[in-house]
Every structure is written in structure tokens, then in C-alpha cells.
Structure 1
């Protein structure tokens, strides 16, 4: 018989959170990432990533900035998130 047990919502949220932390940990310390590329990398909806990032921000593991500027394209780049030092420590500890 096939096991049809599904992970709990809390377990899924922890797994996504860990992956979001690891994605942000690949950025240089002074770079921010918009939500869309993270959602694409993780193959989840932007809404899930947004909620996860807001929770990480609330806990002091990520920070948000708007009014970002693209040095590559020399134009506004919107908003994004990056890890705080506490977030980087969590990433190094295995999120």
C-alpha cells in the first residue's frame, strides 16, 4: 500500500524558508534579490516567497529595500531582499 501521508503546512513552510535562505545566501552581501527570481528558482509562487521573506524580515533574518538601482542597466530595479548577518549565520548553520 502506498503511503499517502502529506507533510504538514508547518513542515512545508520550514522547507521553503530554508531554501529561500540558501538562495539569498548565494548573493553578495550588498546585493538584494527581487521576489520573482527566487520564486522561479524554487518553482513556487511569488506569493509564497513574499510571505516567507516577510516572515524572515520579521525575525531579523532578512531585510527589504525599495528604490533599488541597477548598475548594469542604469535604471530603477524595483525592490528586493537580502540576508542580514543573522540570516547568513542561519544559512551557514544549514537554515
Structure 2
């Protein structure tokens, strides 16, 4: 499951463990391509990685705080620290390989 989060709960939700956040917007074509990939990985990594998504139009503070200028942007945090920031569409294989570094 991919949890929709907001500026208000971002720090609480992403502060522990390995968390992937998908920064997106409804009007963004590549974001719509990325979303099913993130959902597939959420099923496969259930319990190992938390998957979240944030609409940057509805929640601009967090995106601005991290300097996110392009979407989709995928941010991976481990125990509250940003360990990866990926801009643009990424395949399931690419993301799987990156996530394995933080779950092994």
C-alpha cells in the first residue's frame, strides 16, 4: 500500500526505517507512469519499506524545503536521513536495485 502524506505529517511518517516518497502531481504524465511501478514495489516490499506519495500542488512546503523542482521525484530516507533522490521516471528494476541497498 502507498500512503498519501501531507506537509503536516511528512516528518512523522518518514522518520523511521526505509521510506520511499513519490513526489507527484495529477497533471504530470511521467508521474502517472511512475505510480503503478511504486505500487508494485510497495506490494513486494511490504513490511520492509514504507511507500508514501505526496501531491506537490497540495503540499508545496515539503517539496520546496527539499528543493524539488521536477517531478516525479522519488526520495528514499533511512531512519530520517535522505539517502537517495531520484528525478524522473525510473523502472521497477532500477528502483528494486536501489532499494536492495537499504534493505539488505
Q: Same fold by TM-score, threshold 0.5 exceeded?
A: no
Name the TM-score, length of structure 1 as normaliser.
Answer: 0.29
Name the TM-score, length of structure 2 as normaliser.
Answer: 0.27
Query: Bigger relative contact order, structure 1 or 2, given CA contacts below 8 A and separation 6+?
Result: 2
Please identify which structure carries the higher strand content: 2
- Which has the higher Rg, Structure 1 or Structure 2? 1
Please identify which structure carries the higher helix content: 1
